[in-house]
Chains A and B, each alone.
Chain A
Amino acid sequence: MTHLARPGSPETPGSMLPPDDALDPIRRIAAELAPRAAAIDHEGLYPGDVLARLGEAGAFSPHLAAHRRDPHDHLGFAIRAMTEIGASCMSTAFCMWCQDACGWYLENTGNAGLRERLQPGIAAGKQFGGTGLSNPVKALSGIEKFKLRAERVSGGYVVSGVLPWVSNLGDGHVFGTVFEDAADPGHRLMGMVRCGAGGAEIRQNARFIALEGTGTYSVLFRKVFVADDMLLADPLGDMVKRVKPGFILLQTGMGLGVIAGAIAAMHTANRTLGATNRYLPRQVEMFEAAFDTLRQTIDRLAATPLDGSIDYVRAVLTARLEVSELALEAAQSALLHSGARGYIAGSAVSRLLRESYFVAIITPSIKHLRQELEMLGRH
């Protein structure tokens, strides 16, 4: 990524992130990852070895108090790491988001024992994790019903139901999700679930137009026992509300990565097609400026992920929405800059287009963000 637009100052005012060169180890991994992006995207190659290296490099720990490596680390640095990787391969950046979100749930649980047991492995990339919060986020917003129901038994809960899409999964991986009490729908709880032997069963029945290598599965809960010591919050209380801004902000790393990848593709196209590309209505400099502004906003917001004020939440949702919209526009512009070479099956630009759609539809999607912003506007 030689053309990744960077802010003018490595330490954006208000965020106090570590210096920009702290990302160099991540950039080296991104460069080595780029040639494998097509296989991950299309052939279903799961980038587990890359994720392990990212864990060793500290990509999953900036937002985890017990594991951060630099006193200036915070959520913003995790987003920057994801952006670097996303510019080469958004599938891998998406897996990073899953891992980061999983660590974030553990960061915010009152169950210190669970945090101490699982978070070191998540932070180091030795234990992979995902997030099954799409359905709960939508259910809590009244968009759909809870898909998992729990029955109280001795020492824990027995959970039934199915979550259609949970990512960064494999046998032995863990993920956080929310259950509704079958006996009392007003009682919700959040727990960590382990995939495989004795746990939830994962099945890969569907194929997607991109991101095939992200370990995305349907998770079948056929009376799965979730022990009390795996619970993140019971009752749920404000757990989802507390983790949601961080959960959403972390996603911006994927989208910024796509935008950065599209900017790089525009520069590449301009080397040979620049004389004609200058007639396109949206030029690469416009995207670089928008990227810079958006990233500075996100750096600032990422410094205070537990600010639950309405103004803060509104700013987070707006930034996330702007990332989605800019990713769509940038990927389209990359194709317009590249012409037929971008339209060839397997081209990096065609992958960017499909990746940008993912940024726009993953929960919270553009429509959900707009809905939530409108609802917030009434407060």
Chain B
Amino acid sequence: MHAVVTDADGVEHILTGVEGDPVMILARNAGLNIRGECEGSLACATCHMIVDPAWADRLTKPTDEEEAMLDTVFDLTATSRLTCQIRLSAELDGLRLSLPA
């Protein structure tokens, strides 16, 4: 299964993984500009991406902890998420996201 991330230059990157892989880890492994400083412990918001609105409703709602971190993000959008909290699954196969500018 995979997710597709569009970077700030409009280039698409296909992230391939297995069920349960966090998108943040796959993006980092692919060399995208994602730091993931807190290893998914919801302490940093350095894995912020914008989910394609067509996919946003298929994701589980952010927890209060994720919402609190998202409140600190500079380029917040209606479909902003922390990608450490998004894991590949059959339902999300082909998920599309973009990196903030």
Contacts and interface: CB of A to CB of B under 8 A. Distances in A.
B46 to A, nearest CB: 7
B44 A160 contact: no
B67 to A, nearest CB: 11
Nearest to A220: B72
Interface in A187-243: 201, 203, 205-207, 218, 220-222
B74 A205 contact: no
A206 B71 contact: no
B74 A149 contact: yes
Nearest to A207: B41
Interface stretch (B5-13, B17-25, B32-40, B91-99): B32-40
Given A205-B38, A206-B38, A162 B45 contact: yes
A218 B46 CA distance: 12
B30 interface: no
Interface residues of A, dominant DSSP: strand
A165 B35 contact: no
Interface range on chain A: under 10, 10 to 19, 20 to 34, or 35 or more? Answer: 10 to 19
Nearest to B69: A162
B74 A162 contact: no
B57 interface: no
A218 B43 contact: yes
Given A203-B68, A206-B38, A160 B74 contact: yes
Interface residues of B, number: 16
Interface in A290-346: none
B96 to A, nearest CB: 25
Interface in A145-189: 149, 160-162, 164-165, 182
A221 B72 contact: yes
Contacts of B35: 144
B43 A164 contact: yes
A205 B43 contact: yes
B45 A206 contact: no
Interface of A: 144, 149, 160-162, 164-165, 182, 201, 203, 205-207, 218, 220-222
Interface of B: 35, 37-39, 41-46, 65, 68-69, 71-72, 74
- Top-4 shortest CB links A-B: A206-B41, A164-B44, A162-B72, A218-B43
Given A164-B38, A165-B43, A203-B68, 14 more contacts: A144-B35, A160-B72, A161-B72, A161-B74, A162-B44, A164-B43, A164-B46, A201-B68, A203-B65, A206-B38, A207-B41, A218-B69, A220-B72, A222-B72
